Amino acid sequence: MAVPTLQEAIDRAGSPVRLLWKPNAPQWLPPVVPAEFRGWREEQAAAYETVALSDLCHHMDDLFIEGPDAHRLLSEHSANDYASFAIGQAKQIIVVTDDGYLVGDAILSRDGAEKFTMSGVPYSLSWIRHHGATGDYDVSFSHDPNSMTRRGADPVLFRYQLQGPHALDLVARVFGGPLPKTKFFHATPVTLGGRTFKALRHGMTGQPGYEFIGLWKDGEFVKEALLEAGESFGLVQVGALAYSTNALESGWIPMPVAGIYSAPGLRKYRESLPAMSFEGLNPLRGSFFSENIEDYYATPYELGYGRLISFGHDFVGRRALEEAQHDVARERVTLVFDKVDVHRVWGAEPGFLATQSRYRVEADDEVVGMACNTGHIAPLGTALAVALVDKKYAVPGTEVTFVWGEHPGPDTAPEAELGFERIKATVQPAPCNEYARTRYRAND
């Protein structure tokens, strides 16, 4: 019996939005990792005050790409510059459709002359694998899904992230001295207890740090070494709850809706994806509702990825991006919520909140944007949202309104009174964290 495809699921539902809209769907949290170790507030604070250890082994998919045409495949199907992509370097790969809409982003690392690893949400991984398998490319793929879907098997790789004011001192303690000077998003080989793995200069909250990445069989040894050395530095393990808010201050939107659901030219691609794929199951919800799926799409420029785009090579979507760079309608910003309104809506001691639902952003009695990543940040005493807003309202200091609630979805009368809460917010840059904005990518 044939497995239903994403296109068939859309046809049965009547539209992409009717397929994906699931009000009150459970919020996604990193799988397997405990929700909390010491409590989400203390775990959030560790990245600001001491050092935080996050287990990243379970929530991302990995796609291992190898072969003489691997470099050409990536170059022809992503917007990045590959002229000087060194072994050991990583980059945020940007994958777009012919129309210039973002399919997805991921972390791409070069592991050898013909070996690469893509890590992240499946959107862009599925796209690259499909085009590699159906195009004229001499490549092979190995896919390691996240721990929600690998059915109890061990991951291929371990990933542990250290970040915070004491992270670099802790690293020096573990390895008997500072690591070699490493550029941002570059990795250096390290050895510990006879085990060799890599240290990638990277962090999520805009704080100094590294990700340590290696074979799964060595992971427990590495983790125990970090925990033992971390005791004297106030190390705190980060659970799934606190980790899910990491991207807010660095201004990252983890799961923009892939621009694959509507273009007639992508019908065959949708027919290649199972209905039960990530693309078919990742829900839409929140107070921002539109029957038109393209209202949820974004371009790389709107998401702040313009600096990653290179027109020095031909790639899918190049012509559309060349045109789009001159007419960017929205800008990525951070919304800092009014504390009084936060307490009014969520209580004097707000509970945990992290959601990648879509929420209306209003100003002058009209919708001016869409919040895509929202959560409480205990060290700041308020909530933040990373949003896409009309450029007119993207000026820091602009006052807007965040609309909190769950739209029922299709077939709701436009004039229906839904009782949504309104929370005052102030627009700030994204990233809002000054270190993330000014020093995050520095190479010193």
Mean pLDDT of 260-266: 98
C-beta of residue 350 within 8 angstroms of C-beta of residue 437: no
Does residue 397 fall inside a structural domain? Answer: no
Mean pLDDT of 177-182: 93
Q: Nearest-CA neighbor of 207 among 156, 165, 173, 174?
A: 165
Query: What DSSP line would sit under 220-283, residue for residue?
Result: HHHHHHHHHHHGGGTEEEE-HHHHTTTTTTTT--S-PPPTTSS-GGGHHHHHHSBTTSHHHH--
- Residue 426 vs residues 233, 253, 357, 403, 423: alpha-carbon distances, Å: 35, 18, 19, 13, 10
pLDDT at residue 437 tops 70: no
Q: Nearest-CA neighbor of 238 among 378, 58, 36, 57?
A: 36
Does residue 217 fall inside a structural domain? Answer: yes
pLDDT at residue 296 tops 70: yes
pLDDT (0 to 100) of residue 444: 45
Does residue 166 fall inside a structural domain? Answer: yes
Q: Which residue has the tokens 């990825």?
A: 305
pLDDT at residue 402 tops 70: yes
Tell me which H or E stretch contains 401: strand 399-404
pLDDT at residue 440 tops 60: no
- Distance between CA atoms of 419 and 304, rounded to whole angstroms? 33
Does residue 235 fall inside a structural domain? Answer: yes
Does residue 51 fall inside a structural domain? Answer: yes
Percent of the chain whose pLDDT exceeds 90: 88
CATH code, domain with 52: 3.30.1360.120
pLDDT (0 to 100) of residue 28: 82
Q: Any residues with CB less than 8 A from the CB of 385 and at least 6 apart, and which?
A: 248, 334, 335, 337, 359, 371, 372, 373, 374, 375, 402, 425
CB burial readout 120-134, b (16+ within 10 A) else e: bbbbbbbbbbebbee
- The tens digit of pLDDT for each residue in 116-166 reads 999 999 999 999 999 999 999 999 999 999 998 887 799 999 999 999 999
- Distance between CA atoms of 41 and 368, rounded to whole angstroms? 32
Q: Which amino acid is at 12?
A: R
Q: Which residues share a beta bridge with 62? A: 119, 144
152, burial (CB in 10 Å: exposed 0-12, middle 13-18, buried 19+): exposed
- Residue 268 vs residues 123, 124, 353, 416, 423: alpha-carbon distances, Å: 16, 16, 38, 38, 43
Tell me: cis bond preceding 431? Omega within 30 of 0 counts. Answer: yes
Measured N-to-C along each axis, helices 219-230 and 167-175 cross at an angle, to the nearest 10 degrees, of 120
- Model confidence band, residue 346 (pLDDT cutoffs 50, 70, 90): very high
C-beta of residue 42 within 8 angstroms of C-beta of residue 236: yes
- Distance between CA atoms of 279 and 11, rounded to whole angstroms? 15
Report the SS3 class of residue 158.
strand
pTM: 0.95
pLDDT at residue 345 tops 80: yes
Mean pLDDT of 289-306: 98
Q: Nearest-CA neighbor of 399 among 374, 423, 370, 377?
A: 423
C-beta of residue 118 within 8 angstroms of C-beta of residue 93: yes
Domain count, the chain: 1
Query: Do the bridges between strand 235-238 and strand 51-55 make them parallel or antiparallel, or are there none, so unpaired?
Result: parallel
Does residue 96 fall inside a structural domain? Answer: no
Does residue 160 fall inside a structural domain? Answer: yes
Containing structural domain, residue 165? 40-59+152-243
- Distance between CA atoms of 332 and 324, rounded to whole angstroms? 16
Higher pLDDT among residues 285 and 152, named by residue: 285
Dihedral angle sign, alpha carbons of residues 153, 157, 162, 167: positive
Both tokens of 186, joined, read 């570059």
Does residue 11 fall inside a structural domain? Answer: no
Q: Please, what is the average pLDDT of the chain?
A: 94
Tell me which H or E stretch contains 197: strand 195-201
